[in-house]
Amino acid sequence: MDPTNIVARLTPQVVDPLIRRLFAPDGPVAEPVDRPVRISRLLSFTGEKPTLSEKELHGLAAALVEQASAGRTDAENEAVAAALARTLHALADIEMDDLDAARLLPAEFARRLCGTAPGATRELTHDSARLHGLLLDVAALHLLYLFTERSAFVARTLVEQTRTLTELIHGPGAAPAVALPPRTAGAPATEATAEDDAFQDSTTPSPDLAAQDAAFEARYAHDTAALHNHLTIFGIDLTHSPDSWPLDAAYLGLQCEPGPQDTEGSPDASGQDDPPLPAEQALSGRGQVLVRGVAGSGKTTLLQWLAVATARDELPEALAGLRGRVPFLLPVRRFAREGLPSPGTFLSAVGHRDAEAAPAGWTERVLGAGRALLLIDGIDEAPESEREQVRRKLAEWTARYPENVWIVTSRPSAVPGNWLAGEGFSELSLAPMGREDVAAFIQRWHRAAAQRCPADLDRLGQYERTLLNAVRITRDLGRLATNPLMCGLLCALHRDRRGYLPHGRKELYDAALSMLLERRDRERAMVPTDGVELTRQPKIQLLQKLAHWMLVNGRSEMDQATAVDTLARHLPSIPDAARQGGPEDVFRHLLNRTGLLREPTPGTVDFVHRTFQDYLAARAAVQRHDFGLLLDHAHHDDWEDVIRMAVALARPDECAALLDGLLAPHPGVRAAEARHRKLLAAACLEHATELDPAVRARVQRFTRDMVRPSTPAAARALGWIGPIVLEMLPDPTQVSDHEAYLLAITATSIADDMAIDYLTGLRDRAHHDVRAQLAGAWRRHDTARYAREIIAHLEPAELYFPVADLEELHTLRRLGGRPHLRIAGPFTPDQLVEGIAPAEGLTRLWLAYDLGVSMEWLSAFPQLDTLRIGRRIPPVSGVPEGIRVVQM
């Protein structure tokens, strides 16, 4: 499909008569009007006596498709015609008058029309959806022109828009249908014309340029989807697998929790936090959002999915507001040295292969029209000293280019809370994977592996079952399987070792390196084609040099020339590698054969995941006895994981010295940073395989008073320390209700069943907020054990008990049900009607998850008197009489 030829075929002589048929021949615009008119009142297919039937509307759409396709008719074009007819019919439902519409750019009006007809293109192929989009853009241009032609009020209110639309349709110099006041050269513009000048000069291309823009945008969408539609799934098939997997086959939906703006001082009378929502629901309706997530939680994968789904017009209904937008995925790591790129260099920055072919000013026009989806990945990848500059640049961009959608990601501790709140950003956090998420990932991983190796189907099925059981019953594995990266490593190693699994992070990473570096080529039966054949240890030593350079220089990416120079300095001390070839040869071998390096853009290199970079940098630091370097940077967030891994790798005396160094005063460290260093020492304890008991006691003594939080935010933040914090918390039976509530927040933020033992000391509290906090944590723990030891003991008065999956629903039923329930996960009405028992015992229901159905099924619960609707849930319909609806 050539967009340029399609646009050229859709001449005004062809399109204008067809679009005019959408308007009633008489009615409110037949006589002069001095006010806006609702679009639905202007149409020929609405009202008591429509003059255009649905069949004729479909024929009109089919005529446009036939013209665009040079007369070709087939099943795909018939599907496009049906989708276009459905979208044009949405003119009757759009909440807008003719003046509101004429203020918009054609592309924005087309986008809003798509949003009013959700799902119209769902069944179309990729190329058919692109054709639908081009046709709708052209139709939108003519619709807006007709609004100004048919209404002198609109034309004279929006003078310059009217002139611009006229010239886009009929060419430069064409006179509008309505006489307009002349523009006086050099005269000061009125408020309206100042806005119109910006509309015309910065966002509206000439007719020829509009066609070029449309053609390039279609190519860009195709190329963007191809560029980002891949996802590394570690070890899916050592013998046959590609280095990446199609994103649309491997993407596992992520979930988001509300950020501090949504949780602090929650207005909910229940005192209960909103449950995690699927990312698409959590992002719905947000124009500017910062998404936080730990390493490996899926931040980059989420942005890749958004870019691909937007480019392909395959967004779910919850994200209909993003349809028609142009995605730009900008990894901060590529701009850490030079700063964020200017819009004019976005295409090169996002890795678009044909950036030079873009019409001049195309990116600026997209941004100026408010049609872009800006995906800024990895604020934490910028050096700490440069993040404020990044924030200022984002503030400048969002002010200069309003109406675009901005989604920014970062590790949790890289920037302070509400870092972008002043620029209008809300916050979300990627939720740790729950039990159901982990199970779904393991099942999908093994299905993907089976597709690559059908002969291993039976063996993979056995591996899947044993791993699912092991993760469920083995505490150490359950603690490791918290994000997609770690789950992928566990699946790969479990298969690679025929059912044997490592224990602890150090062993897990060592095993992963062995799998990738030592066995990858051997099991692929590959012979060296580059003249270089290295064993595992020289590869690790060389990779450590690159990781150490990135650590010291605060980078997560380096020029290939710098990488080669770094290897050249160290090769003489690694004779097994030096005799294989020069530094350039060795570098190419590491890039192409280890599976740990990649080439994100020509001339650069980085690690496939930051976790591997941090682990190898920690190995290098320990081997070099760089403990002073580690202590000098321990208060910097991007060194946290390196220090934890260094503790796991160090010898006992080195480990003790490192922990004592974290506790001791350090020159130039502020009070808040010193506190953070001590808490980091506490977080490192679980990674120390051998440690002098006196050192362990010293760390706990120094930090014991720090784990008595004074605010919910502080209590929640302590969860990053890990299960070791549970040993430092005070006796829950000896504190006030307010302190008990804060301790409950800390303990429930730790996704480890050790927390259950601590929470049993809080389960008999009568204080509502304590009970609500304990009830809301059910999804993070083993369903049966948590129900037996916590849920069954909570006083039910005024407490909403959450159910997020069928197992929790059925477990609560076995406990005798509860009068107040909170729906916190996807269910069908039949599942809820069957699972909530006794039916007459339910009196209040809180809908915290969008079920996407009408509410007539609630009639199955005769005593139900109140339905609460969560803050981010759209209004519901079909609620039976007698049930009070409370929209939160």
Instruction: Provide the pairing of β-strand 558-559 with 372-377.
Output: unpaired
Let me know if 51 is exposed, middle or buried by CB neighbors in 10 A (0-12, 13-18, 19+): middle
* pLDDT range class, residue 26, cuts 50, 70, 90: low
Q: Following DSSP, what letter does each residue of 244-263 receive, concatenated?
A: SB-HHHH----EEEE-HHHH
Report pLDDT for 441.
86
- Considering Cα of 615, then 620, then 623, then 626, what sign does the dihedral take? negative
Which parts of 571-638 fold into alpha helices (H)?
575-578, 583-593, 610-623, 627-632
299-324 mean pLDDT: 89
- For residue 479, give both structure tokens: 């603690």
Which comes out higher in pLDDT, residue 594 or 787? 787
Report pLDDT for 71.
62
- Considering Cα of 44, then 50, then 52, then 57, what sign does the dihedral take? positive
Give the C-alpha separation, 173 to 662, whole Å. Answer: 73
Whether 599 has a pLDDT exceeding 60, the answer reads yes
Count of Cβ atoms closer than 10 Å to residue 851 Cβ = 17
Give the C-alpha separation, 701 to 217, whole Å. Answer: 61
Give the C-alpha separation, 215 to 793, whole Å. Answer: 64
632-652 mean pLDDT: 92
Which comes out higher in pLDDT, residue 586 or 402? 586
Contact criterion met (CB below 8 Å) for 325 and 310:
yes
Chain segment 71-85, per-residue pLDDT in tens = 666 788 888 999 999
- Considering Cα of 872, then 877, then 880, then 883, what sign does the dihedral take? positive
597's enclosing H/E stretch is strand 597-598
- For residue 72, give both structure tokens: 């070709």
3-state secondary structure of 329: strand
Report pLDDT for 249.
54
* pLDDT range class, residue 235, cuts 50, 70, 90: very low
Whether 505 has a pLDDT exceeding 70, the answer reads yes
Side chain identity at residue 293, one-letter code: G
Instruction: Please name the residues in contact with 863: beta carbons below 8 A apart, sequence gap of 6 or more.
Output: 840, 841, 842, 843
Instruction: Please name the residues in contact with 69: beta carbons below 8 A apart, sequence gap of 6 or more.
Output: 6, 77, 131
Report pLDDT for 418.
83
Report pLDDT for 613.
92
Report pLDDT for 162.
60
Q: Hey, which residues does 231 pair with through a beta bridge?
A: 245
Give the C-alpha separation, 674 to 378, whole Å. Answer: 26
139-151 mean pLDDT: 80
Whether 104 has a pLDDT exceeding 80, the answer reads no
HSE-CB at 144 with a 13 A cutoff on CA atoms is: 28
* φ, ψ at 293 (rounded to 5°): -165, 145
Whether 297 has a pLDDT exceeding 70, the answer reads yes
Instruction: Provide the pairing of β-strand 820-823 with 426-430.
Output: unpaired
Q: What percent of the chain has pLDDT over 90?
A: 33
Report the helix count and the strand count for the chain, using DSSP H and E: 41, 15
170-174 mean pLDDT: 59
Instruction: Provide the pairing of β-strand 426-430 with 255-258.
Output: antiparallel
Report pLDDT for 190.
36
Which comes out higher in pLDDT, residue 531 or 573? 573
The structure tokens 């935010």 sit at: 713
HSE-CB at 30 with a 13 A cutoff on CA atoms is: 5
Give the C-alpha separation, 742 to 732, whole Å. Answer: 10
Instruction: Provide the pairing of β-strand 604-607 with 597-598.
Output: antiparallel
Average pLDDT, the chain: 82
* pLDDT range class, residue 201, cuts 50, 70, 90: very low
Report pLDDT for 151.
67
Report pLDDT for 175.
56
Instruction: Please name the residues in contact with 789: beta carbons below 8 A apart, sequence gap of 6 or more.
Output: 756, 759, 760, 763
Q: What is the DSSP letter of 721?
A: G
Chain segment 604-615, per-residue pLDDT in tens = 899 878 888 999
Instruction: Please name the residues in contact with 591: beta carbons below 8 A apart, sequence gap of 6 or more.
Output: 597, 598, 599, 605
Whether 224 has a pLDDT exceeding 80, the answer reads yes
Let me know if 734 is exposed, middle or buried by CB neighbors in 10 A (0-12, 13-18, 19+): exposed
* pLDDT range class, residue 164, cuts 50, 70, 90: low
Q: What is the DSSP letter of 231?
A: B
10-25 mean pLDDT: 85
Report pLDDT for 157.
59
Greatest mean pLDDT range, 167-171, 269-273, 314-318, 691-695: 691-695
773-800 mean pLDDT: 93
Which comes out higher in pLDDT, residue 247 or 426? 426
Whether 497 has a pLDDT exceeding 60, the answer reads yes
Chain segment 817-835, per-residue pLDDT in tens = 999 999 998 899 999 999 9
Contact criterion met (CB below 8 Å) for 401 and 374:
no
pTM of the model: 0.63
Count of Cβ atoms closer than 10 Å to residue 684 Cβ = 26
335-353 mean pLDDT: 75
Whether 184 has a pLDDT exceeding 70, the answer reads no
> Among 444-453, 608-617, 844-853, 855-864, where is mean pLDDT lowest?
444-453
Q: What percent of the chain has pLDDT over 70?
A: 84
Report pLDDT for 572.
93
Report pLDDT for 166.
64
